[in-house]
Amino acid sequence: MERRFLYPGKTDIWIVPDDVNDENREARLRLLSERERSRYASYQSREARSRYLAGRTALKRLLSFYAEVRPDDWSIEADCYGQPSIKQPEWLSFIKIGISHAGGVTAFALTIDDAVGIDVSDRFKENDVSLAPVILSEHEMAAYRATLPADRLEFLRDRWTLKEAYTKALGKGHWIAFDTFAFDHANHSAIRLQHALEIQPIRWQFRLFNVGELRLALAVAARAPRPITVEIFELSVAFDAFMPVPGAA
């Protein structure tokens, strides 16, 4: 894979299949720092451990497309709210990262300096309609009720995915109640944020995409007022085909 570049205002999104298995697990674990390995071990289920390992090792290898740093020399740590950031090499910490897992893939968003959040969501099921009062503000609830019943699950999924991406970009996740802010988003026009705590809603830019069956939302808070450029790279094959892990069979 050739070297990739980011510049202010550019966001790269990567969709990578989760591909950890018994054959590559040991080699993948060698890419983790000691802290990352203890986080890996702290997950109760094998599935959760594999998802975390696939995500972290894919991210480190992705980052090595952007800078001449070995995958195992990156250290990515979460703050007390869970927001991940680059800790080593420290001078590259201006690269901001967003992560989301769903449907057997991990999605990453990479920017320079701008706060970024990403979320991918599977299709909502019929009983997810019970989440509407938790996800939606009063204003959105009115729009939801005015939506054709057949379109309501997609309405909900869009709002959920956008709200997850936004609150991750803020670094707070579910600590911010989702019914306290809203998105105005009709007929594919620009997606606008209404949040009483945001004094500069205009700095935010949002995108929604379909990735197969998944819905993907991106939230970027631009440091300077400028349009953003987004490129999506979807890997359909295991990462090992692009960048073998050193020492792997």
37 binds ligand COA (CB under 6 A): no
Which helix (H) or strand (E) is 163 found in, with range?
helix 152-169
Rounded to whole angstroms, the Cα distance separating 198 from 202 reads 9
H or E stretch including 171?
Answer: none
Least Cβ distance, residue 140 to ligand COA (angstroms) = 18
Nearer to ligand COA, 46 or 226 (CB): 46
CB under 6 A: which stretch of 21-29, 40-48, 81-89, 124-132 binds ligand COA? 81-89
Residue 81 engages ligand COA in binding (rule: CB under 6 A): yes
Q: Applying CB under 6 A, does 55 fall inside the site for ligand COA?
A: yes
| Contact stretch for ligand COA (CB under 6 A) within 143-151, 163-171, 182-190, 192-200 | 163-171
Phi and psi angles of residue 54, each rounded to the nearest 5 degrees, phi first: -60, -45
- Check residue 71 for interaction with ligand COA (CB under 6 A): no
Q: What is the residue whose two structure tokens read 């001078």?
A: 91
Query: Which helix (DSSP H) or strand (DSSP E) does residue 140 occupy?
Result: helix 138-145
Residues 92-111 binding ligand COA (CB under 6 A) are 99-101
Nearer to ligand COA, 100 or 205 (CB): 100
Measured from the CB of residue 17, what is the shortest distance to ligand COA in angstroms?
15
Q: What share of the chain is helix, strand, coil (3-state, %, to 5)?
A: 35, 30, 35
Taking the least distance from each CB to ligand COA, the nearer of 82 and 133 is: 82
Question: For 134, what's the count of Cα atoms within 13 Å in the CB-facing half-sphere?
Answer: 9
Q: Which two tokens stand for residue 141?
A: 């609830």
Long-range Cβ contacts of 185-193 (<8 Å, 24+ apart) = 185/158, 186/143, 191/162, 193/166
The dihedral through the CA atoms of 9, 122, 86, 72 has a sign that is negative
| Residue from 19, 140, 158, 164 binding ligand COA (CB under 6 A) | 164
How near is the Cβ of 217 to ligand COA at its closest, in Å?
10
Say if residues 219 and 230 touch (Cβ distance below 8 Å).
no
Among 5, 94, 175, 242, binds ligand COA (CB under 6 A): 175
**Residue 174 interacts with ligand COA (CB under 6 A): yes or no:** yes
By CB under 6 A, residue 242 contacts ligand COA = no
The size of the interface with ligand COA (CB under 6 A), counted in residues, is 17
Cα–Cα distance, 172 to 187 (Å, whole number): 29
Part of the chain binding ligand COA (CB under 6 A), chosen from 1-9, 82-90, 203-211, 220-228: 82-90
User: Does residue 83 interact with ligand COA by CB under 6 A?
Assistant: yes
In DSSP terms, 96 is beta-bridged to 111
Contact set with ligand COA (CB under 6 A) = 52, 55, 81-84, 99-101, 119, 164, 168, 171-175
